[in-house]
Amino acid sequence: MIDVLIVEDDFMVAGIHQSYVDRVAPFKVVGAVNTGEQALAAIRRMHPHLILLDLYLPDMFGLDIIPQLRIEGHNCDIMVISGSRNADEVRSSLRQGVVNFLLKPFEFEDLRLRLMHYAAQRESLLAAVVRDQTDIDRALLQRQPPASNFVLPKGMSTETAKLVESALRGSVENLSAAECAALTGLSRVSARRYLEHFHDAGRVKLCLRYGSPGRPERRYHWIK
């Protein structure tokens, strides 16, 4: 499980966020607080893995809790959820290492995709074994936004493409459509559609695995 703490000054909005998070496995909300001081106390007590952090809290600016957390040795990740469109605040968030920045208002799917992207990155980093520079480069790539900057066909979304790309980049082995679907939370049909598009665009290598009766299994590997 990935334990989540929600830090949001509006209790009704916090409830909506919790209802969204609770629909996404393997995430579990372990608490919701509405001030910076409450957030610090809850983190010390609960040690959550991920904080969904509002920037405008009654007692402090949201980002101001991050230095205190690091001083105390807490290594929880931070995802900012805010209505702020201030470019300086976005830049400051990124400089302080937040894993994502989601603007309010948003739909469930907007948060789900970001949570699944985070889960794929986290799993990849936890499983990382450093044997040489290639392993380090692969781990660093997981901390950076995916580079799905080509034009997508109608009916395909940029966020979903980034999610599939992240799963491919984070996997040492090639992936089948079923394995990609399990990592991203997509249906097998949807995962296969994006994988085939990446193949057509020259972004992934297609491998055929033989060994069982019937058609060979199609497996995909991101071209580094």
Q: Could you read off the pLDDT of 167-187 as tens digits, one per residue?
A: 888 888 899 999 999 988 899
Beta bridge partners of 176: 219
Predicted confidence at residue 139, as pLDDT, reads 59
Contacts of 108 (CB under 8 A, 6+ apart): 20, 23
Which position has the higher pLDDT, 215 or 198? 198
Q: Which CATH class is domain 115-222?
A: mainly alpha
**Would you say residue 148 has pLDDT above 50?**
no
The CATH T-level fold of domain 2-106 is Rossmann fold (3.40.50)
The whole-angstrom separation of Cα 157 and Cα 153 is 9
| Dihedral (CA of 80, 81, 82, 86) sign | positive
**Would you say residue 151 has pLDDT above 70?**
no
**pLDDT tens digits along 202-217:** 788 888 888 766 678 8
Predicted confidence at residue 136, as pLDDT, reads 64
Domain regions of the chain by residue span: 2-106, 115-222
